[in-house]
Copies of this chain bind each other. A is one copy, B any other.
Amino acid sequence: MSNATFNGKKAYNNMDAVFYPNSVAIIGARTDSERELKTGWVGKLTRFDYKGKIYPINPKAKEILGHRAYPTIGDVPDPVEYAIITVNRNLVANAVKECISKRVKTIHIYTGGFSEVGTEEGIALEKELKEIIENCDCRVIGPNCLGVYSPSGGPSFDPGLPKEPGSIYSISQTGVGSRRLIRLAMGKGLLFKKAVSFGNSIDLGANDFLEDALQDSDVNLVFLYLEGISEGQRFFNILRKCAEQKPVVLLKAGMSEAGKNAVASHTASIAGDKQVWEALFKQTGAIKVQTLEEAVEQMIALQTIRPLKGRGVGLIGRGGGLGVIATDMCESVGLKVPQLGKKTRKSLEKIIPASFGSTVGNPVEIGLGHTGISEQYVDGLEIVASDPQIDCLISFLNPADYIHFGFEGWAEDTINAMKKAKGIINKPIALVFLPGLNSEVFATVVEIQRKLFEHGIGCFSSMDTAIKAIGKMADYYEIIAD
């Protein structure tokens, strides 16, 4: 990364001290060990098994959770690469000054209560922080944010997140949302290389992290939650460049008028005009999502379905009405549900006799049922996939029915059938488990989804989200091909 991308700061020219610091000081670590272990940053790093050095800073403690404590960061005998500031907002400015004197490379200001609360006091305190850091060599994340999750040896804002790194980069202005996104994603097997929640962004912001994502060759997918943006032209250029190389899933919050107000009191950002943002999506190829849940489904699609060659979808599943609903959805997002060719129908009729009342058009009624996952199901998928009009298969299964019909072993059968299908079929397959309210089914489905994801098969939580995600993928590959 060139120095230019760092606003002219030259202390270091990459994000290593942000994501892989070899030491972390926690300014404002609590003396109450139990509380610190449960919700404090010393506790988080310890529980996440952070391998670098941990320096709790608190004038009243000698040791916190087994780490020697120091009265101020200046008292730490060794260099400190990364500092987390968790003290009351009135003490933050002083803590930042001490970090600068100590030549800390990255300062994460966790504390909130600055410009986002909209009071004179909060705004003044943030202005003061900006002035303090203006000419320093260090980089600042925050204030009012969770900071970093870096499973490749760095810190983590949530000790419960996976320690295994993946290939997704999550860049988010919001903290709770960021943690929620990663937790939802990890439940489905998605893994992250880096994640950051940067809050009010008095220094490092979306542009900087987006550049890092662009240049990090381990990263193949970017998630971006934004409320507002500074340096609009720079953002546009980086975003377009990045989206050309790896998909960027973008949740722009504060699109509505009331949403703009909400943004102002969340991270004190200026949300910007809706039309400008809509145009930006079209011009950059960034993939627009509106909720975190939708973002996760979109990422599942992007990680499991290769670029679509066309918009023809083969819908496969039992339940004619469900098929009709799915067909309407496909059309509404610009996908096609073409009638299958004569040859395809003939082949299907051999495995699904018309006298059963099941249809062989498209949607095709095959799937699990009374007789379980059979050779027939995989054969059916293969026949539909062989139709030249079909670019992608979406199959829906209804686990609640398997319980209903007392069909044991369905989980294993499903996994085996899909693994087999994946080996035979040369077109993308998306699998939808229709949601239900049975806890046992829920647990089993989560397990199946994770296992199939390891085999490169994407499982979705509803027809709606699957179809939307695949529709947006089709749009994305058309835009970047232009």
Which residue numbers of A lie inside 8 Å of B, CB to CB?
Answer: 38-39, 88-90, 111-114, 116-119, 121-122, 144, 158, 160, 172-178, 180, 183-184, 186-188, 225, 227, 251, 253-259, 261-263, 265-267, 290-293, 318-325, 327-332, 336-339, 354-359, 361-363, 370, 398, 400-401, 404-406, 434-439, 442-443, 446, 462-464
Contact = CB atoms under 8 A, between A and B. Distances in A.
A302 to B, nearest CB: 19
B355 A319 contact: no
- Listed from nearest, the 8 A-B pairs whose CB atoms lie closest are A112-B357, A174-B321, A187-B437, A176-B319, A256-B331, A266-B320, A177-B321, A439-B443
Contacts of A320: 116, 174, 176, 262, 265-267
Contacts of A443: 439, 442
A320 B356 CA distance: 53
Contacts of A121: 354
A437 B446 CA distance: 7
Contacts of A118: 359, 361
A358 B255 CA distance: 21
B176 A322 contact: yes
A259 B328 contact: yes
Contacts of A251: 325
Nearest to A406: B38
A427 to B, nearest CB: 19
A320 B178 CA distance: 11
Given A256-B327, A259-B324, 5 more contacts: A39-B405, A118-B361, A256-B331, A263-B324, A266-B323
A415 B145 CA distance: 31
B354 A122 contact: yes
Contact of A184 (B89, B122, B225, B437): B437
* Best-surrounded residue of A225, A254, A265 (most CB of chain B within 10 A): A265
A324 B362 CA distance: 40
B116 A359 contact: yes
Given A187-B438, A404-B160, A112 B356 contact: yes
A443 B437 CA distance: 8
A369 to B, nearest CB: 10
Contacts of A438: 187
Contacts of A160: 404
16 contacts: A90-B355, A112-B356, A116-B357, A117-B354, A158-B404, A175-B321, A177-B321, A177-B325, A183-B436, A186-B437, A253-B321, A253-B325, A261-B361, A262-B323, A265-B359, A439-B446
A267 to B, nearest CB: 7
B325 A292 contact: yes
Given A119-B354, A443-B439, A319 B180 contact: yes
B462 A177 contact: no
A406 to B, nearest CB: 6
Given A339-B261, A443-B439, A180 B253 contact: no
B39 A177 contact: no
B183 A255 contact: no
Contacts of A227: 321, 324
Nearest to A462: B293
A271 to B, nearest CB: 9
A113 B255 contact: no
A438 B187 CA distance: 8
Given A258-B331, A327-B258, A332-B256, A322 B357 contact: no
A371 to B, nearest CB: 10
A321 B256 contact: no
